[in-house]
Amino acid sequence: MTYVIAFFHTIFCIALVGLILLHSGKGGGLSSSLGGGIGGTFSGTTIMEKNLTRLTLVVVALFALTNVTLYFLG
């Protein structure tokens, strides 16, 4: 069971790094090259950026859950 949780923990860790890199910073980030920068000057945040933030929060929650689970299993 520990190995399965550790596997998912690793997947969530890699996904979290990738999602954080996709967020746009001051320079636009990778999300602007994928179409997230369209309409960014008219609205504060684009729909793609909001969805990316929601997805990142879900992965953070799953990462924290697997982290706590591994702590109690180990």
Q: What is the mean pLDDT of residues 56-70?
A: 98
- Which own/partner contact pairs does 24-32 have at CB distance under 8 Å and 24+ positions apart? 24/49
Q: Indicate if the alpha-carbon torsion angle 17, 22, 23, 24 is positive or negative.
A: positive
pLDDT for res 51:
93
- Could you report the per-residue pLDDT of 31-55, keeping only the tens digit for each? 566 665 555 555 556 898 899 999 9
Contact status, residue 24 vs residue 49, Cβ threshold 8 Å: yes
- Tokens for 20? 């954080």
Question: What's the burial of 54, exposed, middle or buried (CB within 10 Å: 0-12/13-18/19+)?
Answer: exposed
Q: What is the pTM of this model?
A: 0.74
pLDDT for res 27:
61
Q: How far is CA 72 from the centre of its chain?
A: 24
Please check the confidence at residue 14 and state whether its pLDDT lies above 90: yes
